[in-house]
Structures are given as C-alpha cells and as structure tokens.
Amino acid sequence: MMAVEAVPVALITGANSGIGRVTAEVLARQGYRVVLACRSQARTQPVLEAILAANPAAPPQWLALDLGCFDSVQACAAQFLASGWPLHRLILNAGQGGGRGLSASGFERAFGINHLGHFLLAQLLRERLCQSAPARVVTVASALHHRANGLDFDAVRQPTRSLTGLPEYAVSKLSNVLFSAELARQWAGTGVDSYCVHPGMVDTAVWRRVPRPLRPLLRWAWGWVPAEQGARTTLMCATDPALVGQTGRYYAREREATPSALGQDEALARALWAHSAAWTGTAGLTS
C-alpha cells in the first residue's frame, strides 16, 4: 500500500549537475521531498548535502540510474515504488549530447539515453503518478529538435553515424517532444499532466562528450545560458498553478511555444510510442 507522505514528492533524473541540480534545489526549498536519480552517488552527494541543509524536514534521496540500461531503469523504478511514497512530479531532465555508439541496451546512444530510458521510467511509474494525481511529468527537450529531418526507426537501432553525434541528438530531442505530446493523449483523464520544455541552450555536462575543439564554437553559435536561467521553464511547468490542465504543450523561455512540424505529427508520435513500448517491453503498461 502506498504510504501517506505529508509533503509533495518529485523525482528528477540527472539532478547532480546543471539544470537538474538547480531544479532539485529549488523544489526542495519549496517544500518538496526530492529524489535524485543519477548514475553516480559520489557526484550526487554534494547536492544531497546542500538540499538536506536547506530542507531537513524532508531528506533527499539518491537512486542509481543509468538511462541507457533498461535493467538499471527497472531497478530504479522498483526501488522508488518500494519506498511507498507518492509521486507528484516526474522530471525527465537527464540527457547526453555529442556522444557516439550504442547505449547499454543496444540503441543509438542519444536515442537510447535521452528518449527510451525516460520512456521506460515513465511507464514503470505511471500507476504511482496516477495514484498521486494531480501530478505532472515534465520532459526536458531542446529547440534543436527543429533540426531533425525525420525519425528513422531502423537508424535508432544502429550505432551513431555522424562524427559529432549532433544530428542524432536532434532526433532524440524530437523524440522527447513527440513522447511528451503522446503521453498527454495516452494518459488523458488520469489527472497527470504532461509538459515539454526547451530550457535554452544551457552550458552543462550534457555536452561533455562533444569534442573539445567544438565546444567554444557551440557556445558562440548557440548563445549558451547558465543553468539557473535554463531551469526556469522546467520549474514553471512543474509548479505554476496556472498551467493545471494545460497538458501536452511545449514551452520555451517561460512561455508556450510551437514545436517543429514533425514535433506536431500525431501519427509519428503514435508510431514512436508503439515502437518504444515494444522495445522496452511495456506494451501492456502504456495505454
């Protein structure tokens, strides 16, 4: 049976640095119990200590999570569910840009980490979110989804083809946009709202795998902003009471925005959902 939790609970992926860390710290100051789902406990420990000092009444928790590995995602979800806590906010923040190769579960690296890992986590936590409604799922995407020329369901099962990994990153972010919109349709009537966010081009560890000579060029071309500024739209979608019921929408720089034409393609979103459910073994959990 789900335990009664006197404070709201938020689970945030990739909360040990960048936008995720800022989001976790702000939500903790607002009274949330925050659960930080990250790969490294050692790298997360300073954040846990800072949050505990700010909100000792609701100690934060760390959960091990490698989004590229389905076994790790399943273990993370199972550990959270075993806590008995409700879940009022699921913030799908973690991501990687510029990497190459395959994820641990055998998908193009950016697609496997940025989309499929989060898709699986959301499906595994769906029942708890619905039990905790009103609840929200906030998916951190990127305006770079506009640069995706399509979604090739064969290519996302192959190693990264480009030298920079950036075209594949754009596809993974398009997948985030499509997933968030389709989640709103699939979960309609459950009391769980879905929001998609472009935080601005933020200078964070997500770009750590981009070759070093390219990073200054990206900073100049994209006008990178600090994490504190980038987290504002995530926090707005997670907490603003004016957005209740505004499910399935896309936000950038703290206001509603328009995704790319592909990002608005409902047939493509349904196809992505069906493929993702089959690949993650969650077809029975997704509708």
Our answer to whether residue 195 is catalytic in this structure is: no
Name which of 243, 269, 241, 245 is nearest 256 in CA terms.
243
pLDDT beyond 80 at 73: yes
pLDDT digits (tens, 9 = 90+) for 116-144: 999 999 999 999 999 999 999 999 999 99
Catalytic residue among 169, 195, 250, 251: 169
* Residue 230: band (very low, low, confident or very high) from pLDDT cuts 50, 70, 90: confident
* Residue 209: band (very low, low, confident or very high) from pLDDT cuts 50, 70, 90: low
CA distance 102 to 91: 24
* pLDDT reported for residue 222: 47
Mean pLDDT of 27-50: 96
Name which of 218, 216, 118, 203 is nearest 166 in CA terms.
218
Domain ranges of the chain: 9-281
CA distance 121 to 268: 21
* pLDDT reported for residue 164: 87
* pLDDT reported for residue 173: 97
Mean pLDDT of 240-259: 96
With a pLDDT cut of 70, the percent of the chain lying above it is: 88
Bridge-based pairing of strands 249-252 and 255-257 is antiparallel
Cβ atoms of 96 and 20 within 8 Å: the answer is: no
CA angle at 271 for the pair 88 and 166, rounded to the nearest 5°:
80
* Residue 281: band (very low, low, confident or very high) from pLDDT cuts 50, 70, 90: very high
Structure tokens belonging to residue 160: 């990264």
Own/partner contacts of 49-58, CB < 8 Å, gap of 24 or more, are 50/25, 51/24, 51/25, 54/25, 54/28, 54/29, 55/28, 55/29, 55/31, 57/7, 58/7, 58/28, 58/31, 58/32, 58/33, 58/34
Mean pLDDT of 243-254: 96
* pLDDT reported for residue 54: 87
Mean pLDDT of 31-60: 95
Q: How far is CA 119 from the centre of its chain?
A: 9
pLDDT digits (tens, 9 = 90+) for 76-105: 999 999 999 999 999 999 999 878 999 999
CATH architecture of 9-281: 3-Layer(aba) Sandwich (3.40)
Output the CA–CA distances (angstroms, integers) from residue 45 to 17, 178, 259, 280, in the order listed: 11, 33, 36, 30
Find the radius of gyration of the CA atoms of the chain: 17
Mean pLDDT of 207-231: 59
Upper half-sphere CA count for residue 170 (Cβ side, 13 Å): 17
* pLDDT reported for residue 41: 96
pLDDT beyond 90 at 226: no
Mean pLDDT of 166-180: 97
Lowest model confidence (mean pLDDT) among 39-53, 110-124, 177-191, 192-206: 192-206
pTM comes to 0.91
* pLDDT reported for residue 120: 98
B/e letters for 238-272, b = 16+ CB within 10 Å, e = fewer, are bbeeebeeebbbbbbbbeeeebbebbebeebbeeb
CA distance 212 to 23: 27
Mean pLDDT of 253-257: 95
Mean pLDDT of 231-260: 96
